[in-house]
Amino acid sequence: MSLTSTAAHAARRAAQRERVRILYRRALKDTLNWAVHRHLFYDDAANLRERFEQHRHVEDLDTIDRMIEDGEATYNKWRHPDPYIVPWAPGGSKFTRNPTPPEGIGPTMLLMLKKMNSCCISASPVPLAVLGTLDALRFCFNSSLCEGVSLWS
């Protein structure tokens, strides 16, 4: 073998290892979606590892490529239709639940609103959280309950 063919062989082999590693990790994570309990997952994970290990010593590059394609096709066929998503991850139920405050409202403004809520909450016919920022400030400054409260200290 020449030096270029050896380098090409090593590069192709490294790419195959990476594809197998990615396929195994995706399949293992998807197994968690199918297994309701941990003890069931452990059995399924062991079976999955066994399926990968039985072909570990195959050396022919074309055979490995074909096996990877077959494995990816099998994975795509049996992938869970409704996978579990961690609530705070993108797509989860808690992701961006509390969006960032609008531009112009910095930490000082948030502290003012907090003090304002504490002094005006009982006098407001509408919860201050429902009002816009400027409406809440107008309400607080017009409220007789807030006369003794300093919003700036």
For all residues of the chain together, what is the average pLDDT? 79
- The boundaries of the domain holding residue 136 are 107-146
* Residue 120: predicted pLDDT: 54
- CA 32-36-41 angle, to 5 degrees, is 50
The verdict on residue 142 lying in a domain is yes
Mean pLDDT of 79-105: 80
How much is the pTM? 0.58
Residues 17 and 61 in one domain: yes
The verdict on residue 114 lying in a domain is yes
pLDDT at 81 over 80: yes
Residues 45 and 112 in one domain: no
Residues 54 and 114 in one domain: no
pLDDT above 90 coverage of the chain, percent: 45
Mean pLDDT of 50-65: 95
pLDDT at 142 over 60: no
pLDDT at 45 over 80: yes
For tokens 């405050």, name the residue. 101
pLDDT at 128 over 60: no
Determine the Cα–Cα distance for residues 128 and 116; give it in Å rounded to an integer: 9
128 by DSSP, 3-state: which?
coil
